[in-house]
């Protein structure tokens, strides 16, 4: 529940119109995450630092449980990032396609469903 409220708060900060890309016709302003790009990059850099920290922990022969605890933290950070990105995609790319209707809407819904299935399996 706490993660959902955090995700909802984050997604409000990232709302934007979706643009032209290789996945169909869109508004020319950019992907749904474009306004939140700096925040997404910041989060990814933090995750990268955590992953490098894991490497250092293994190289310096740290205790197994400490390494596993750090793995859990990196995993949660990646899951949170993925959920925020998915929410932006749903709010922008899928919503825009749904308004347009037709084959584009069906394609975006199918694409989003497949992405959700991949996230659930991971």
Q: pLDDT for 77-87, tens place per residue?
A: 999 999 999 99
20 within domain boundaries: no
- 57, exposed or middle or buried, with CB in 10 Å at 0-12, 13-18, 19+? middle
Q: What is the largest CA-CA distance in the chain?
A: 57
Q: Which two tokens stand for residue 114?
A: 């497949």
CATH number for the domain that contains residue 43: 1.20.58.1000
Our count of domains for the chain comes to 1
Residue 106 lies in a domain: yes
Domain containing residue 92? 2-13+26-121
Average pLDDT, the chain: 81
**pTM of this prediction?**
0.69
> Is 45 inside any structural domain?
yes
Kindly compute the dihedral angle of the four CA atoms of residues 62, 66, 72, 74, in this order, to the nearest 10 degrees.
Answer: -50
pLDDT computed for residue 39 by the predictor? 94
pLDDT in tens, 31-68: 767 778 899 999 999 999 999 999 999 999 999 999 99
Kindly state whether residue 68 falls inside one of the protein's structural domains: yes
Q: Is residue 18 part of a domain?
A: no
């Amino acid at each position: 529940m706490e993660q959902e409220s955090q995700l909802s708060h984050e997604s409000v900060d990232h709302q934007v119109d979706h643009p032209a890309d290789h996945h169909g016709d869109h508004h020319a302003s950019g992907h749904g995450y474009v306004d939140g790009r700096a925040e997404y990059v910041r989060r990814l850099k933090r995750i990268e630092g955590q992953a490098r920290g894991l490497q250092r922990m293994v190289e310096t022969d740290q205790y197994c449980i400490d390494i596993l605890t750090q793995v859990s933290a990196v995993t949660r950070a990646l899951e949170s990032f993925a959920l925020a990105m998915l929410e932006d995609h749903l709010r922008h790319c899928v919503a825009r396609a749904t308004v347009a209707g037709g084959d584009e809407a069906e394609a975006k819904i199918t694409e989003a469903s497949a992405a959700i299935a991949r996230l659930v399996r991971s």
